[in-house]
Structure 1
Amino acid sequence: MSNREIFENIFNEADVKINGDRPWDIVVHDDKVFDQIMLQGSIAFGEGYMDGLWDCERIDELLNRLLKINVEEKVGALNKIKVGLSKIKSFVNPQSIAKVKQDVPFHYDLGNDLFELMLDDRMAYTCAYWKDASNLNEAQEAKLDLICRKLNLQPGMRLLDIGCGWSSFMNYAAEKYGVICDGLTLSVEQQQLGQKMANDNNLPVNVILQDYREFKPEQAYDRVVSIGMIEHVGPSNYDDFFKCASSFLVDNGVFLLHTIGSPHSQHSVDPWINKYIFPNGVVPSMARLGSSIEGLLNIEDIHNFGPDYDKTLVAWEANFEKNWDKISSQYSEKFYRMWRFYLLSCAGAFRSRDLSLWQIALTKIGAELPVYVRAS
């Protein structure tokens, strides 16, 4: 049986046709892609799209269908490759301070123009909250406000944002709730634009270019948040991350963690994502997070709204497509295909529930239960 025939049988189980005419069917231009996938696993699947070996109108739905049938388990070679990589990475710390100072700019310093055209008006690059929203701007503001309400922010409070991005949350919290904010990032592009947006609106926001492990605040903060950053921390550093977050927080404060979540404990992300999008990123499992939280912090609330990330990624991809002609001269056609595959394949992962989105509210052990809004 040829490799093409093997994949035809697998795809049939997912109701995906090779060279079919439905939006989620895969159109193959060169059969060598099947040989490459058998040898190299999922990285060859993504690279095959980047190289124009196959096309698909709805990559998000294609990935949703393939993930639901556990496609990697059905191709034994892929699983062996993944296990081997995980074992290698488990003996090193790929998220050391020196390493993350290289890896974070790899993605976030691609160019503010790209992200400004893709994201909402406030430049929030994390999952939006679509419960009562009809567009991306509304959904991102709803997410920011949900976090503010869970933290029970009050005027004059001091807040630290670990991994603050373009300061979207801090700017919102300072503007709407009157809090004073410091934020940490390792991206020069984020630091410069985030600070400019805060300064333009005369907000008490300070964006600091520093790793959380090197940060030494003069005093503790009333509230601490980390929104979409722990995916860069890695299991080897979870203990240090939560110890740092706890040390930054006053005794009766609240720490809110917003993170993508995996149903499986792992040491690496998908090889294609690792190579092209988020080097050395790791999506945490609840077991791994819980182990590092144990004995240090109380879990007050857990809120899962993973399906909202599907909608967020689809909205980002729509903005990317709509505005591509404005930036296409600065990027290659291969970059265009890479970015499209990134956004839509991730949407498919959330749609299939292969990934989740968690907001976890935490307090110090022994602290009085604070007043804040639980999941809604």
Structure 2
Amino acid sequence: MWTKALDGLLTHFFKSGSLRVTYPDGSTRTYGAGGDGVAVTLHDPTLPRRIVLSPDLAAGEGYMDGTLTIEGDDLYGFLSLAIRNIGAQGQPWFRRPLEALRWFKRRLDQFNPAARSRANVAHHYDLSGELYDLFLDADRQYSCAYFARPDMTLEEAQAAKKAHIAAKLLIEPGMRVLDIGCGWGGMGLTLARDFGAQVTGVTLSQEQHTIANQRAQKAGLADKARFHLKDYRDVKGQFDRIVSVGMFEHVGVPHYDAYFATVERLLAPDGIALIHTIGRAGPPGATSPWITKYIFPGGYCPAMSETMAAVERHKLVTTDVEVWRLHYAETLRLWRERFEANIERARALYDDRFCRMWRYYLIASELTFRLNNQVVFQFQLTPKQDAVPLTRDYLYCDGNAGLRHAAE
């Protein structure tokens, strides 16, 4: 029964390219119109049922466990073929009730009170620091880089990202800056060192908190950049600037009002906030169940409509919205290449299954940006309509020579 159901599902999905599947009983079937092809083998008799019920989850688990193998280990080719075809065809009628259930379940998946947020953060960000050293730049920027020139190195593009954000914040010496989701401290340390800001960073990751403060001490910036193990909802005081890079994806739709109420409460009357987040170019959706289970529990990349609806309910003016399209695809490509080059070191830290999981995560994420309309949003917000210049010219003027040079 389930082999027949999977055969129908794959017949529906694959119209371009070629997918050859060897089933657990040894039978083989080819799907698609021919051309560039990929061959997979299903070794576990439970896989047909699991794939029909949840293709994302079952394919990812099968690859991790070695029960779904790809000829030549061409994971990039397999996921490219799958994402293109599934995006083009949509779900067949018999899977639509399951997709509807996933949609209704999404708010429960994104329910992130403080205790659950801490557990979710620990799942991903409290992994060994050595793992992140294998593929990130030296500043440990774990978010989308900005390729102002296509030939930039990862280090150059991450520096350009920070410069672009600093320009939008219009930082001046002595300003009080809150960094929500400060990571390992790279953004905050840059604002303290290069712009003279007084930075307060908050994170829920024990590992990030420790390393960020160690970095501040080592750089002689401990008096200008302080990092706290704290939920953003518990922050007190008032700040001239608020920056949040790659953290909003962990907030969850049920908490958007709390998030922007916090930004409104903490921001000075003429302050500026810059929120940098992965988003979707289409309407609201649901997170891949594989990503939710193994990579980012509680995570969700919002549609612009979901974010703006929450902003509009608070006393914040949206002064700029910028959409970065393929910048994250290029960032992930470079991360993947570095990870694959260091995979033996990753295997020594964890095991083969973890390495397959991480490789699947990096490749699937890259291809979602390349093929499935995932983007990055930068929202510039302020309580005061004229807090920022009326055009974007200030981003490239002499006062931001570093950014201008990066774009040349």
* Deviations, residues 270-325 of structure 1 (Å, cap 9, x unaligned): 10000000001111111111111114211111111121111111111111111222
**How far did 1:92 drift?**
7.8
| Partners of 2:39 and 2:162 in 1: CA distance | 37
* Deviations, residues 155-193 of structure 1 (Å, cap 9, x unaligned): 222211100111111112222222121111000000011
Identity of aligned residues (%): 32
| Partners of 2:37 and 2:369 in 1: CA distance | 16
Give the corresponding residue for 1:202.
Answer: 220
- 1:357 paired to 2:376: yes
| Partners of 1:176 and 1:226 in 2: CA distance | 18
Give the corresponding residue for 1:44.
Answer: 58
Q: After alignment, is 84-93 or 124-133 more displaced?
A: 84-93
1:119 is paired with a residue whose SS is coil
Q: How does 1:262-277 map to 2 (within 5 A)?
A: 262-266=280-284, 268-277=286-295
Q: State TM-score, norm by structure 1.
A: 0.91
Does the Cα contact within 8 Å between 1:8 and 1:18 map onto a contact in 2? no
Give the corresponding residue for 1:67.
Answer: 83
| Partners of 2:69 and 2:9 in 1: CA distance | 13
Q: How does 1:1-376 map to 2 (within 5 A)?
A: 2-3=4-5, 5-6=7-8, 9-10=11-12, 12-18=14-20, 25-30=38-43, 32=45, 33-52=47-66, 53-55=68-70, 57-71=73-87, 73-90=90-107, 94-132=111-149, 133-203=151-221, 204-217=224-237, 220-266=238-284, 268-294=286-312, 295-366=314-385, 368-370=387-389, 373=394
| Partners of 2:371 and 2:285 in 1: CA distance | 21
**How far did 1:10 drift?**
4.6
Equivalent AA in structure 2 for residue 59 of structure 1: L
| Partners of 1:38 and 1:183 in 2: CA distance | 44
Does the Cα contact within 8 Å between 1:251 and 1:364 map onto a contact in 2? yes
| Partners of 2:109 and 2:54 in 1: CA distance | 23
| Partners of 1:374 and 1:70 in 2: CA distance | 39
Equivalent AA in structure 1 for residue 69 of structure 2: W
**How far did 1:13 drift?**
1.7
* Deviations, residues 66-114 of structure 1 (Å, cap 9, x unaligned): 3333358334454432321331343686211111011111110011110
2:321 is paired with a residue whose SS is strand
| Partners of 1:330 and 1:363 in 2: CA distance | 44
* Deviations, residues 239-278 of structure 1 (Å, cap 9, x unaligned): 1101101221111111001000123554741100000000
Report the CA distance shift for 1:76/1:120 in structure 2 as closer, same or farther (over 3 A). farther
Structure 2: gaps of 5 or more residues: 22-29, 397-406
**How far did 1:4 drift?**
5.6
Q: After alignment, is 319-328 or 76-85 more displaced?
A: 76-85
Report the CA distance shift for 1:241/1:61 in structure 2 as closer, same or farther (over 3 A). farther
Report the CA distance shift for 1:365/1:80 in structure 2 as closer, same or farther (over 3 A). farther
Does the Cα contact within 8 Å between 1:136 and 1:312 map onto a contact in 2? yes
Does the Cα contact within 8 Å between 2:175 and 2:241 map onto a contact in 1? yes
Does the Cα contact within 8 Å between 2:131 and 2:349 map onto a contact in 1? no
Report the CA distance shift for 1:228/1:308 in structure 2 as closer, same or farther (over 3 A). same
Give the corresponding residue for 2:402.
Answer: none
Q: State TM-score, norm by structure 2.
A: 0.84
Equivalent AA in structure 1 for residue 16 of structure 2: A
Does the Cα contact within 8 Å between 1:14 and 1:66 map onto a contact in 2? no
Equivalent AA in structure 1 for residue 193 of structure 2: E
Does the Cα contact within 8 Å between 1:231 and 1:260 map onto a contact in 2? yes
Report the CA distance shift for 1:330/1:79 in structure 2 as closer, same or farther (over 3 A). farther
Structure 1: gaps of 5 or more residues: none
Does the Cα contact within 8 Å between 1:42 and 1:78 map onto a contact in 2? no
RMSD of aligned residue pairs (Cα, Å):
2.6
1:272 is paired with a residue whose SS is helix
**How far did 1:115 drift?**
0.7
**How far did 1:30 drift?**
2.8
Does the Cα contact within 8 Å between 1:234 and 1:267 map onto a contact in 2? no
Report the CA distance shift for 1:26/1:94 in structure 2 as closer, same or farther (over 3 A). farther
Q: After alignment, is 42-51 or 2-11 more displaced?
A: 2-11
* Deviations, residues 176-229 of structure 1 (Å, cap 9, x unaligned): 222121111000000011111121111221111000111113xx1111011010
| Partners of 1:90 and 1:103 in 2: CA distance | 15
| Partners of 2:301 and 2:37 in 1: CA distance | 26
Report the CA distance shift for 1:196/1:77 in structure 2 as closer, same or farther (over 3 A). farther
1:261 is paired with a residue whose SS is strand
Equivalent AA in structure 2 for residue 38 of structure 1: V
| Partners of 1:73 and 1:50 in 2: CA distance | 25
Report the CA distance shift for 1:262/1:202 in structure 2 as closer, same or farther (over 3 A). same
Does the Cα contact within 8 Å between 1:107 and 1:277 map onto a contact in 2? yes
Q: Which has the higher Rg, Structure 1 or Structure 2?
A: 2
Equivalent AA in structure 2 for residue 54 of structure 1: T
